[in-house]
Structure 1
Amino acid sequence: MTKFTLSAFADEASPVFDLQLEALKRNGIPLVEVRGVDGKGILSLTDEELDTVCAKLAAANIGVSAVGSPIGKISILDDFAPHFEQFKRAVEIAKRFGTTRIRMFSFYMPQGEDPEHYFDEVVSRVSQMVDYAKANGVDCCHENEKGIYGDTLARVQKLHAAVPGLRCVFDPANYIQCGDDPAVNFEALAPIIDYMHIKDALSADGTVVPAGEGDGSVPAILKALYETDKPYILTLEPHLFDFSGLQNLQDEALSHKRVYHTSDEAFDTAASALQHILNSL
C-alpha cells in the first residue's frame, strides 16, 4: 500500500515561524513546504536567516518537502533574466534545506490573448530552469495555477510533454477554479504526478472548502493514489483564511463557506479534514 507523507504550507497557520512549527507538531505533520517565514518570502531570507530556520527545523524534527517558491509567477512579458537569478537562489535554498523540490509556475498570460502564442517562450524559460536545477540535484515541480500557461489539462499536458524533466504538482481546487474537472484531470495526469496539494473547492463559485467538502474528488483521488505502490507527499494548502501574505500570492480574494476566527483554527480544520479522509481509506 502507498505510504502518504504529510506536509503543509504552515505559513497559513501563522506568519511566525515558531508558531508554524507548533501547528505542524500538533497536527502530526512531519514536513513543511516552506513559503513564508516571519513575514518574509522564502527567497528574501538572508543566509543568516536561513541558518536560523534550519536550526529551528532540526530542533523540531521537521523536514522540508519543497521550497514553495513564487518562481514563474510573473508575466511572460516580463524580463526573465532577473527572475532566473531569483530561481538560482531558490535552488541554493533547496540544497540548504536538503530538499530536491522547488514548487514553481509557468508564467502569467496576458489577458485576452491566446496563451498558445507564448508557448515557445514558456518552454524556453521552463527548460532553462529545469536544466539548471537538475544540474544541481534539484527538480522543478510545476503547480497548475489559474492564469498561468499551465492552468488547464490540455496545456499542462502539452507543457510536460515539451519539458519531460518537469515534475507535476496536482492541485484539485485550482483546476476547479479554471473550470476543469479534477477527477478527469487526475486520470489523465496520474502517471506523471509527483505530489499533491490538498485544497478543495466548490465548482459553482470557486469557494475554497476543507478537503472532501468540495467538488475536487479529493477522497476518490487519494483512494486511487493509496492503491498504487508509489509513496506520495500530500501538502496541505488550506486557503480557508485570509492569512498574512496571501495578497502577494494571488490576485483574487478568497471566498469561504464558513467563518474561522483565527488562522490556527482554519489550519487545524483543514488538517483534520485530510486526516478524516486518510483514516477512511
Structure 2
Amino acid sequence: MTAWTLSGFGDEIDPDPAVQLAVLSALGARHIEVRSAWGTNVVELGDAQLDGLAEAVDARGMAVSAVASPVGKVDVTTEDGGELDRLRAAVAAAHRLGSRYVRIFSFYRPAGVAPAEIRAAVLARMRAFAALAEDSGVVLLHENEKDIYGDVPQRVADLVESVDSPALRIAWDNANFVQVGVRPYDDGYALLRPHLEYLQVKDAIAATAEVVPAGHGDGQLLRTLTALRDDGYSGFASLEPHLASQHDLGGFSGPAEFGRAARAFVNLTASIGVHLR
C-alpha cells in the first residue's frame, strides 16, 4: 500500500505549540509544519523559543516536516537584500528543529507591472537563495502562492529550471492554483511533477476563491492525488486548511475546522488506497 506522511501547519490550530501538537497527534499526524509559535513567525523566534519548541515536539514523539518561512513574500522591486537574512534565520530554525525543508516564495510585483519585467530580479534572488540552501544542507520548497512571480505552472517551471539547483524544489498547492484561474491537474501536473517534492493540502472554489476542505472545491484533488499515487510519490502531505480566515502571512482554522479538513483529506486518500502515517 502507498503511504504518505501526514503533517499540518500547527498555527492553523492555535498559537500555542502545545495545543498544535496535541491536536495533530489526535488526528494521527506525527509531524508538524512550523510557520509560527506563540504568535511569532518562525524567522523571528529566538534561540530559547526554538529550543522550547524543539523540546515540545520531541516530547510528543513527533518531528518537523518543514519550516514554513515567509521568505520571498515581499515586493521584489523594493527588496534590499533583507530576504537573504530572513532565509538564514529560517535555515537556522530548520537546523534546530531537525527539518531539511524550508518553504519560500518568489516575490510580489507592483500593480501594473508584468511578470516578465521582474523575472531577472526574481531569478537573481532565487539563485542566491538556492546557493545558501546548498551550502546549508537544506532544500527550499517554492510554494505557488497567488500573485507572486511563480503563481502559475509555467512560471513555476521557469523558476526551478532556470535556477537548476537540487536545493530548489516545489511545494504543490491545489487551492492556490485555483485562485489564479489554473486547473491544477489539467494545466500543471505534467509540467511540474518532475520538480514536486511536497504537498500542501487545501482546496478552493473557482468562482469565489473560497478555500474549502480537500475534495470540496475545483482543485482537482482526487485526480492529483491519484496521479501522485501512481507516480510513486511517498513524501509529506501537509494540511493548510485556511477555513476560518486567511491573510498575507497565512491563515487560521481552529481545532474543529482543522479536524474537518483532516477528515476530508483522509477520506480522499482512503478512497484511492493511500495510507497516511
TM category (shorter chain) comes to over 0.9
* Equivalent residues in 2 for 1:21-40, closer than 5 Å: 21-40=21-40
The Cα of 1:248 is off from its aligned counterpart by 4.6
Return the match for 1:220 from 210, 218, 223. 223
* Equivalent residues in 2 for 1:138-157, closer than 5 Å: 138-157=138-157
Distance 2:231 2:82 in 1: 41
Residue of structure 1 in register with 2:170 after alignment: 168
The Cα of 1:80 is off from its aligned counterpart by 3.2
Aligned pair count?
Answer: 269
Return the match for 2:185 from 168, 183, 186. 183
Residue of structure 2 in register with 1:46 after alignment: 46
Distance 1:148 1:248 in 2: 12
Residue of structure 2 in register with 1:102 after alignment: 102
The Cα of 1:44 is off from its aligned counterpart by 1.0
Moved more, 174-183 or 228-237: 228-237
Residue of structure 2 in register with 1:131 after alignment: 131
Distance 1:129 1:80 in 2: 14
Segments of 5+ residues of structure 2 without an aligned counterpart are 273-277
Higher strand residue share: 2
AA in 2 matched with 1:25? S
SS at match of 1:80: coil
AA in 1 matched with 2:227? A
SS at match of 1:189: helix
1:14-58 CA distances to partner (integer Å, 9 max, x unpaired)? Answer: 111110011101100111110010111111110011000010000
Residue of structure 1 in register with 2:275 after alignment: none
AA in 2 matched with 1:192? H
Distance 2:229 2:217 in 1: 20
Distance 2:224 2:10 in 1: 23
Percent identity between matched residues is 36
AA in 2 matched with 1:174? N
AA in 2 matched with 1:147? D
Question: Given the alignment of the two structures, is residue 272 of structure 1 paired with residue 275 of structure 2, yes or no?
Answer: no
The Cα of 1:78 is off from its aligned counterpart by 2.0
1:163-186 CA distances to partner (integer Å, 9 max, x unpaired)? Answer: 122211110000000011111212
Contact residue 12 and residue 241 of structure 1 kept, 8 A: no
Return the match for 1:210 from 210, 213, 220. 213
Residue of structure 1 in register with 2:15 after alignment: 15
Distance 2:82 2:156 in 1: 25
Distance 2:77 2:40 in 1: 26
SS at match of 2:199: strand
